[in-house]
Amino acid sequence: MFSTWIAVTRGVGQQGVNGWLLSALLATVVFTVAIALWVERRQTGISKEWEASERRFRGAVEAARCGVWDWNLDTQEVTVSEYMASLMGLDRSGVVPAADVMACIHPKHHEAVNHALQQAETFGTFEVSFAVADGTGGIRWVDARGQARGEREDRHFSSILGIALDTTEARRAKGQAQAAESRLRDGIESVSDAFVLFDRHGKMILSNQAFEDAFGFEPGVVRKGAFKQDLNRIAALAIKTDQAAAGGRAGAREVELRDGRWLQLVERFTSDGGSVVSAADITAIKQKDAERKKVNDQLHETISALEDREDALRLLARKYEVAMTRAEAANQAKSEFLANMSHELRTPLNAINGFSEIMAGEMFGPLGDQKYKGYANDILRSGQHLLSLINDILDMAKIEAGKLTLHYEPVSLKELVDDATRLMRGKVEDAGLNLVVDASQLPTIEADHRGLKQVLLNLISNAIKFTPEGGDIVVALSQTDDDRVRVAVTDTGIGIAPEDIERLARPFEQVEGQHSKTTQGTGLGLALTKSLIELHGGALAIESEPGRGTTVSFQLPIHRPGHSDQNESQARAA
């Protein structure tokens, strides 16, 4: 029976929409008969051969993605197939309470389903559409059709046997098509030119109001399905002059209407044999023919001037490009020069600092006048500050020149933080601040010990500079879920305005303010910190609120970038 039905529906399905409807009707008949046998089989039980036939039928129904159901109006129980249970979101197939089925249906559709049940009890046919949850937070649309069976008192039926189909995609496609058509109509109506579209049989498909207004059509004449030759005949009554468009544009004509307006008509043919006609009002152009020559002359002069200016701009652009190339080369040369000057600048300054430190400490005996010792201390502090500035500039220059090489080694962040905070403890106490370290147990990471220490010293130093007396500084360490470590330095200082945060990570940038005038530095600290972090394969983040404080944090990979796989292999081998 199924092979015959499939052959019939295949043949009919090739005949288009009507064939599809006939196929659906045949399917419904076959489903109804087979479902009746299926239900009867469940009630009475028959041979194994019948069971095999039922399995084949169930497989065919499931393959067709069609849910089967039988609603017992007396017991208020519903027998559902496996696909029907899946379609509704039920946890099992077979016999289920009607209340469970109704619970799956969207509450706003309960009234429609109950009304359809009442109609089926009275008139014998059931037809309704409703929504159920699809399990992903959305809804699934279901179309259910059925036929009442049996008889009860008062000429009512005892059960309804039917099928259900998932129509979600069909509804979505229909909605998209309607939206597309609506957008097309809105777009055509928004065009100032007259527009009309004909199919290959010369029947009108679409037009806008501007088309009706252009030729003064009477209401109701321009309608879907109107023939092109009829509209042309009526439009011709309004035309006084018809001539080829100036310039010999293919498919274009210029017509003068009896009311004095001029239109330019353009006809284009579609790929399926239809045609599109548009009409633009060119009355103003025609009325200014006398002035056209003057306008054209002015236009030619303007074009010539623009071309001259374009040539000048092109020459200027070439000069700018050359200047940019030279500037970039000079900047690169500057960076390389500073990077190469590291030894020449640091060596004499180290000597100055060393000798002034010896003098300040009176290592070879007293200096005599106590002022000499003070002067020596001043020289030492100034030299140390100058060395710090030079180190920042030279390190930044090395980074820009690509000459800074990181020396990776196992580093304990806890020990590194303890070392950095110990070095900064004196400055913290002098500033009257509280320094707290919140360090959990972290794995050893692969990093450049000196570079990472410089990062911590820079961040803590900045926090000290911009935190008023009595404030707090917290250095916190943690491990993220993506196998990285995070270090955050938080202060209760003056904070940073949102528009200034991005500037602080640029070289030599400092935010102007009352507090900035009392601090010293090149403005390279945060830029250098950011560059060192990024060289490690990490990222720097700044969170701040004026008057509340600032948190500067960075994340680093535990393993050296590009060497994690090798480390894992070595760990497994060990």
- Of 487 and 520, the structure prediction assigns the larger pLDDT to 487
Task: State how far the Cα of 516 lies from the Cα of 523, in Å rounded to an integer.
Answer: 10
Lowest mean pLDDT among 218-222, 461-465, 489-493: 218-222
Per residue, what are the HEC states of 335-380?
HHHHHHCHHHHHHHHHHHHHHHHHHHHCCCCCCCCHHHHHHHHHHH
Mean pLDDT lowest for which of 249-258, 407-416, 479-488? 249-258
Q: How far apart are CA 486 and CA 557, in angstroms?
A: 9
Q: Contact 140/87 with Cβ under 8 angstroms? A: yes
Q: Is the pLDDT of residue 520 over 60?
A: no
Average pLDDT of span 434-448 = 88
Is pLDDT larger for residue 529 or for residue 368?
A: 529
Residue 378 contacts residue 352 (beta carbons within 8 Å): no
d(CA 120, CA 147): 7
Tell me what the pLDDT averaged over the chain comes to: 79
Best CA proximity match to 536, nearest among 413, 432, 441: 413
Contacts of 219 (CB under 8 A, 6+ apart): none
- pLDDT tens, position by position, 209-246: 888 888 888 888 888 889 999 998 988 888 888 887 77
Q: What is the pLDDT of residues 48-91, one digit of tens each?
A: 555 565 566 565 555 557 889 999 988 999 999 888 888 898 99
Lowest mean per-residue pLDDT among 19-28, 322-331, 409-418: 19-28
Which of 27-36, 143-152, 311-320 has the highest mean predicted lDDT (pLDDT)? Answer: 311-320
And the tokens for 35?
Answer: 């479902």
**Both structure tokens of 273:** 């044999």
Angle between helix axes 2-13 and 48-63 (nearest 10 degrees) is 20
* Other CB atoms within 10 Å distance of the CB of residue 542: 17
Once rounded to an integer, what is the mean pLDDT over residues 104-121?
91
Residue 17: pLDDT band (50, 70, 90) is very low
CA distance 319 to 338: 28
**CATH class of the domain whose range is 408-565:** alpha beta
Instruction: Note the pLDDT of residue 514.
Output: 46
Task: Return the pLDDT at 483.
Answer: 83
Residue 100's pLDDT is what? 92
pLDDT grade for 1, boundaries at 50, 70 and 90: very low
DSSP conformational letter for 547: T
pLDDT recorded at residue 58? 61
pLDDT band at 569 (very low <50, low <70, confident <90, very high): very low
Nearest-CA neighbor of 143 among 99, 174, 121?
174
pLDDT at 7: 36
Contact between 117 and 128 (Cβ < 8 Å): no
Q: Tokens 């065919």 sit at which residue?
A: 60
Q: Looking at the predicted structure, is the pLDDT value of residue 557 above 80?
A: yes
* 381 vs 144, higher pLDDT: 144
User: Is beta strand 434-439 parallel, antiparallel or unpaired with respect to 472-479?
Assistant: parallel
Tokens coding 37? 């046998």
Mean pLDDT (whole number) for 501-510: 67
Q: Is 401 left (phi over 0), alpha (psi -120 to 50) or beta?
A: alpha
In terms of Cα–Cα distance, which of 483, 449, 480, 465 is closest to 520? 465
Q: Would you state the pLDDT for residue 186?
A: 74
Instruction: Average the pLDDT over 469-496 and give the result.
Output: 92
**503 burial level (CB within 10 Å; 0-12, 13-18, 19+):** middle
- Sorting pLDDT into bands at 50, 70 and 90, what band is 101? very high
Question: In this structure, which amino acid lies at residue 168?
Answer: T
pLDDT at 10: 40
Residue 574 is predicted with a pLDDT of: 39
Q: What is the CA radius of gyration of the chain?
A: 43
Taking the mean position of all CA atoms in its chain, how far away is CA 243? 53
pLDDT at 342 over 70: no
pLDDT of residue 215: 86
Q: Is the pLDDT of residue 515 over 60?
A: no
Q: How confident is the model at residue 507 (pLDDT cuts 50, 70, 90)?
A: low
Provide the 3-class DSSP secondary structure of residue 20. Answer: helix
Whether residue 458 is predicted with pLDDT greater than 50 in this model: the reply is yes
When pLDDT is averaged across residues 311-334 and rounded to a whole number, the result is: 83
Contact 226, 206 (CB under 8 A): no
Residue 328: predicted pLDDT? 78
Instruction: Confirm if 252 and 268 have CB atoms less than 8 A apart.
Output: no
**161-165, 440-444, 517-521, 523-527: segment of lowest average pLDDT:** 517-521
Q: What are phi and psi of 192, to 5 degrees?
A: -75, -25
CATH 3.40.640.10 fits 2-166, yes or no: no
Residue 347 pLDDT greater than 50, yes or no: yes
pLDDT digits (tens, 9 = 90+) for 25-53: 445 545 555 555 555 555 555 555 555 65
Mean pLDDT for the stretch of residues 400-428 = 86
Kindly report the CATH class assigned to 191-287: alpha beta
Write the CB contacts of 162 (distance below 8 Å, at least 6 apart in sequence).
68, 69, 70, 71, 126, 144, 145, 146, 147
Q: Please say if the pLDDT value at position 451 is more than 80.
A: yes
Could you give the CA distance from residue 303 to residue 296 in angstroms, rounded to a whole number? 10
Report the C-alpha gap between 526 and 553 in whole angstroms: 11
CA distance 258 to 282: 15
Percent share of the chain, pLDDT over 90: 24
- Structure token pair of residue 339: 């990077």
pTM for this model (two decimals): 0.39
Inform me whether the pLDDT recorded for 247 exceeds 60: yes
Mean pLDDT of 83-105: 91
Among residues 74, 78, 84, the alpha carbon closest in space to that of 31 is found at 84
Cα distance between residue 209 and residue 206, in whole Å: 10
Residue 2 confidence (pLDDT) above 90: no
